Structures are given as C-alpha cells and as structure tokens.
Amino acid sequence: MKYNKYLIFFLLVQFLSHAQTSDTALDLVQYVNTLQGTNSKHELTKGNTYPTTALPFGMNTWSPQTGNNGDGWKYQYFKETIRGFQQAHQCSSWSNDYAVFSLMPVTGALELNEDKRAAKFSHANEIAKPHYYKVQFENNITTEMSPTERGVHMRFAFPENKSSFLVLDGYTGMCGVTIDVINHRITGFVQNGKGFDQVKELKNYFVIQFDKPFKAQGTWENRKGEKWANKLAAEGKGIGAYLQFNDGETVQAKIASSYISYDQAQLNLNRELGKFKKLEDTKEAARKVWNKQLSKVVVEGGTDEQMKTFYSCFFRASLFSRKFYEEKADGSPIYFSPYDVKVHDGYMYTDTGFWDTFRAQFPLNALLSPEMHGRYVGALVDAYDQMGWLPSWSFPAEAGSMIGNHGISLLTDAWAKGFRTFDPKKALKAYYHEATNKGPQGPSNGRHGWKEYFTLGYVPYPEYGEATAKTLEYAYDDFCGYELARMTDNQFYQDVFSRQMYNYKNVYNTKDGFMEGRNKNGDWKTNFDPYEWGGPFTEGNAWHYLWSVFHDPQGLINLIGGEDKFVQKLDAVFSSPNIVNVGTYGGKIHEMTEMEVSNMGQYAHGNQPIQHMIYLYNYAGQPWKAQYQVREVMEKLYNSTENGYPGDEDQGQTSSWYVLSALGFYSVCPGTDQYVLGSPVFAKTTINLENGKKFVIEAKNNNKGNVYIQSATLNGKKYTTNYLKYSDLTNGGVFEMEMNNTPNKTRGISADDRPFSLTKK
C-alpha cells in the first residue's frame, strides 16, 4: 500500500514536471526579439525593421519612435531618446508610413515639441516582445504596450509626486481631435503619409479611452507649436491634444481605430479591449495568440541562438500582409477600399510589395496560414474589380513600386496548391490587362515597355530603365499566366502567354555568359561589366540577374552550356571578387555595402533577386552544394540581434526565406506546387497544419557540421527527389533524413529527382 502511494506520488510529480516542461516549450514568444534588425541606417541596413508590437497580420502595429515625425527611420537602435509611441503601418523605412499618430508621456514641465519632449532610455530597461513592449526612461516614466488586431492597451506610470502629462501628436498631415472630459476619452482622425496621396478620402479614425480623469487638457499644433488650453476640439494640419493627470499617476489607455467611421472604431475598441480591465489581461491574451501562431512550427534540437533566430524571423514573417478589414457587430467582415474609396463587405489586405514577397512570404503563408491566404487571393481579384488593376505594391492603395506584375504569381501559386477562392477567368483577364497596358502608378502598375516586349521579345535598354530585369520578371509572370490558363483549360490565354514565357532567352548574351541590356536595334550594351550595378538591372548587377529564370532552370542550363558550366557559374558567384561598380547609381547604395559586408563574393543575399539562386544546384545534379551554401548563409548572415539581417527585411520576405530554409526547403518557382530541398537547421521540426495534421521533419545527426543529406525517406519510403510537393506537406507525414559532414554525391542526381522546369532537357 505504501509502495502504491509512493508510485502515485512519483507519477504525479513526473506528470506535473512534464506538463510544466511542455508548457514552457510552447511559450515560444520567449525566443522572439522584436529589436532584431533595428540597428539600421541609410548607408547600411541590418533589417530596416522597427520593434513591432502587434498581433499576427494585425491591421495596426505599434512602435516606439526615435526618429522625427515623417522620417521613415522610425526606430534606430543606436538612438538614445524616444519621442513617442506610434500607431504604425510602415512596410519599410524607404516607403515611410501612413495613418500615424503617437502618444508621449512627459513629466516636469509640459513639452509639446517632439525634440524637446524626447526622453533618454537604455536598452537595458527595454523589453521588446511581440505581445508586450516596455521601456523605462531615465526620468523614471514607464510605458507599456500590448496589442490587439486593431488596437493597443497602453499604460503610463509616472514617477511619484511628479507631474503627469500625455501628449497626442497628429504627425504630418490633416488631423482632428475632440476631448471628452466627462468620459475620459479622445476621439480623432489622421490623414497623413504617402498612401494618402492616392486616396484623399481615406481617414484613420481613432478612439482613446483613459481610466483616469483629466486634471487639465487642451489642443495644439505641431508646426508652429501653438497650444490652446481648454480648447476641446480642433482640426487642421499637425493638430494634437495634451492631457494632465494627477501627479505620480498610473494611467491606462485603450486605443482602437477604423478606416470606416468613429462608430466602427468604438466597436473595434469594445470588441477587442472591452473585456480587459488591466494591461496584464491584454498582454496574456496577446501572448496566447502569438504562441498559437508560432507553434505552427515547433523546432527541436538546435542551439538557443538558432531558436531565437528562427522564432524572431517567424514573428516578422507573420506580420505581412496586414488585415485591412474590420468586423461588423455580427462579426462579418467589412472594409473601406483604398481602391474605389467605398465600403464593401468581405476581406481586404494591404501593406506589402509583391516584388519582394511573391518569392517566399506568400508561399510560406500558403503553407502555414491557408485560410487567410485563400481570403487574400480572393481579395486580390476584388481589388481588380475596384480599380481596374491587380495590385503590385499596396500601401494601402496601389503604389506601383519596383518591377514586374507579380499578382499573377500569387494567384497561380494559390491555384496550383488547391485554393479555389477566386475566379481564374477573371484573374487571367486582369493579368492580360496588366501585361498589355501601362498604368499611372509607378513601374509595376501595368508594364513599362510592354509593346516592345511583345514585338521585340524583350524590353530595350536604354530606352527603358531596368529593362533586362523587367524582361526576366515579365517572362516569369507570363509563365504564371500560362500555367493558370493551362490548369483551368483556358486555351486563349495559354496561346497568349506561351509566346512570351521564354523571352528571357532574348537578353542572354552567349559571348559574355550573362543576361545583358540590349537596345531596340538588337545591339548589346557596350562596355559590359558584370560587376556594374543599375542600368538594365534593378538594385543589382549581371551576377545577380543571371538566375532570374525561376520557371525554366533547365532552359537556363542549356543557354549557359550544360550542367558543368552551369555549376561552375553558380560556384563563381561565391568565388568571384567582392567588388562593386556603382554604375548608373553614381555612388554606393546600401545594397552594395551589404553585399561587401556579407563577404560571400557576388552573392548579395540582402536583396531579393538572388535569394533563390543557391537552390538551383538541385537542377544541375549537385544538390549537396545547395545543402552546404544554404546552411552557410543561415549561419553567417542571420542572427536574433539588432544586427540580425544582411539587408532590408522587406515585409517578411527575408524572414520567410530563413523560415522556409530552416525547415529544409524553399519556393524557387511560385506558381508550381513544389518546395525545393536544402538543408534543415534543426534535428526535428513539427509543422502543425491548420487542417489538424502534422508534418514532421527529422534530420538525424544534424548539427552545424553535418549539413549534407545522406539519405531520406518520406513516410517510410526511400525518397531521392529534391523537392517536396505542397500536398506532401499538407497531407501530413514524416520526412526523415540522415545527415553527415560529407556529401552523398549519388543521391538526388537523376533527371527524375529534379524540380520543375518548363524545358525538360
């Protein structure tokens, strides 16, 4: 009997210990550092990020502000003062922000000016997690934030017996505020940032509910610094408000906003924050949401730093694209369209540029967040209905930045993976319109040089800037148009796009062995230098754009002269001198410096065009070189610190590259259902799919030295193929690999083992 008691006690202790360990293991937010990549500046970016406090794909994000109002560099790690806590929507420092307002606690004398009110802080007194941000200033004011999808819960703790002011700054454009003294509330709107250049009607309505009464209040404007004591309402450029509370007060502020109306903003506040009395309640709810998102991928068997890097990247990859829809009282979706400035039922998303994100961020979403992804591609076609174009860079309306027409990549990729949330005939009609017109908003709204591209088979240079890069990306997009037409039995569009999808061949110069610029007469650009940036290329050189044939690697292999020469050229990317010819840029841009700092030859991972290139070894019979190089990049160029990225993070793309690559595969050609194999970082990875199934990746003997796949099985059967299908992953199962420190040069080398290519041999 005594033995049984001891046994029961022992089992209970073991159970509780296991439960605690399991709970700790699933508290994945502990590994995330939202300061990753924030030590950035114009000359050299280490991510170009800000410490985002938000929920996954949330409509609003929140950030401390070290930069001036209107400066896209909203938070830089090396700065010593904070001047506000912002609602933010920024994709990149280069694109700036929109719909911004900020709050800043002040003690001592009331200071309204953003420079004078700025307070010193130390990173030692800063906590930066997805669900919670906290900082204590040197003046002993403490600010805390925890997010909801369309709002935030803030708390400002002022030092004992010290004056307690709060400044609301309306940022750079039109804004209005109304102070409700009786109900301890401020309502207002802002209209600022680049997104409002195209959408004059768009307003960001906000409601701020305080839990303490005001001792004094007034309004002000931030251009000349005028202030009006006890004036409870004002409207104009740079309008803001200020409040005074009792000395030494601790004040909570619940904030929510809407693009539809004040009433909707209040509804958002009530729904998302109404049940949370204390910030700790909101913080815990946000922690659970993030742990649910992050636990979609549970990794084991890596170092602590690898865990931190993985989950910090996964966090950043889970922010884009942002929800632009809200919910009615009955919970159904509704949104103000930035495209036709009308209110619609349904879903809408924004704040991303497809030139960056079609490559990995959307293929990652398709795998880990399929419900949202299905809504996204459906909303993409709705956007076409509303403005007559497929978006290419939404911020929040169509900005048309960068090059290519990659909306079709998202649509085709979704269809290839089984998503049926849009009309493919309408999608093809929309893409045909993109491919045969030039829109008013930037290079990728329609096509620069579309007539010449159709008649000559390429975009001529110097008649058009970035012409060779455009030719290459148009050819890939035309493949996507062809492929969607083929999968949906649309012969008309198959005939149209099949003529152009091989156009990449027309800008390959056999003499030099590179893609090059050529003029309308067919002459190649003179004085060719593969190290020269710009001109016919976009933020890169000929070394980077040679590989932009996502859909036909075998065709590229044939152009270059066969597998041996192709592999030699891939090798040469890493062995070539790490030099830069600034070309038409006239001076160094940060991407050039980042390539030099990375010190991997001409491999410029800090920018998107070459990020898939390592995986091309799989197409030429030497997959072990992909396995080696991908692990080198992850080990050398990524970490979890403020210096965590090798260049701009770019709306989740560079993070998604890491997340997919750490799983052991990558989306070389979106528009197909394949993820091409590399080398996984962790000994075991469990992908917890939305459909309730699990896909487990086991890499036995995996460590920093054992990067080579010796053998593999999929669900117990020998597996030599160098890719996994989307259905392999989503059906669940076990993918098991034996890893070693020497390559197996006999595995995965047959023609049948190679990933998709239009040209078969």
C-alpha 632/C-alpha 605 separation (Å) is: 12
Write the pLDDT tens digit of every residue in 273-304.
999 999 999 999 999 999 999 999 999 999 99
Burial category of 759 from C-beta neighbours within 10 Å (exposed 0-12, middle 13-18, buried 19 and up): middle
**Which tokens sit at 367?**
């795998």
The residue-averaged pLDDT of 37-58 equals: 97
Q: What percent of the chain has pLDDT over 90?
A: 94
pLDDT at 584 over 80: yes
Cβ 636 vs Cβ 600: under 8 Å = yes
Share of the chain above pLDDT 70, in %: 96
With a CB cutoff of 8 Å and minimum separation 6, the contacts of 14 are none
Q: Do residues 141 and 107 make contact, with C-beta atoms less than 8 angstroms apart?
A: yes
What tens digit of pLDDT does each residue of 445-501 get? 999 999 999 999 999 999 999 999 999 999 999 999 999 999 999 999 999 999 999
Q: How far apart are CA 562 and CA 444, in angstroms?
A: 34
Given phi > 0 = left and psi -120 to 50 = alpha, else beta, which region is 691? alpha
Which pLDDT does position 11 carry in this prediction?
40
Average pLDDT, the chain: 95
- In the predicted model, is pLDDT for residue 23 greater than 60? no
- Using an 8 Å Cβ cutoff, are 28 and 294 in contact? yes
Look at residue 1 and tell me whether its pLDDT is greater than 80.
no
**pLDDT of 17:** 36
Q: Phi and psi at residue 390, in whole multiples of 5°?
A: -75, 135
Residue entry with tokens 């669940």: 732
Q: Domain spans of the chain?
A: 29-295, 301-753
Angle at 533 between CA 530 and CA 536, to 5 degrees: 85
Helices (H) and strands (E) in the chain, counts: 21, 35
- 218 DSSP β-pair partners: 229, 242
pTM score, whole prediction = 0.96
pLDDT tens per residue across span 119-178: 999 999 999 999 999 999 999 999 999 999 999 999 999 999 999 999 999 999 999 999
What was the pLDDT predicted at 195?
65
The pLDDT of residue 21 = 35
- Say what the pLDDT of residue 654 is: 98
Q: How confident is residue 95, by pLDDT bands cut at 50, 70 and 90?
A: confident
pLDDT computed for residue 222 by the predictor: 97
Distance CA 339, CA 407 (A): 16
Condensed to tens digits (0 to 9), the pLDDT of residues 182-235 reads 999 999 999 998 766 778 899 999 999 999 999 999 999 999 999 999 999 999
* Residue pLDDT, tens place only, 108-122: 999 999 999 999 999
The yes-or-no verdict on residue 9 having pLDDT over 60 is no
58: alpha, beta or left? (left if phi > 0; alpha if psi -120 to 50) = beta
Fold annotation for 301-753: Glycosyl hydrolase family fold (1.20.1610)
- The pLDDT, as a whole number, for residue 452 is 98
Strand intervals (E) in 215-321: 216-221, 227-229, 233-237, 239-245, 250-258, 297-300
> Tokens 């079709």 correspond to what residue?
408
Predicted confidence (pLDDT) at residue 632 exceeds the cutoff of 60 = yes
Residue 718 has pLDDT above 90, yes or no: yes
- The closest of 217, 237, 214 to 228, measured between CA atoms, is 217
Reported as a single tens digit per residue, the pLDDT across 662-685 is: 999 999 999 999 999 999 999 999
Per-residue pLDDT, averaged over 561-589, amounts to 98
pLDDT of residue 15: 40
CATH topology of domain 29-295: Beta-galactosidase; Chain A, domain 5 (2.70.98)
**Over 80: is that where the pLDDT of 18 sits?**
no
The sign one gets for the Cα dihedral 448, 454, 460, 466 is positive
Give the closest residue to 465 by CA, choosing from 355, 588, 584, 548. 584
Residue listed under structure tokens 């694109």: 95
Per-residue pLDDT at 13 exceeds 50: no
* DSSP codes of every residue in 151-167: EEEEEEEPPTTS-EEEE
pLDDT of residue 93: 86
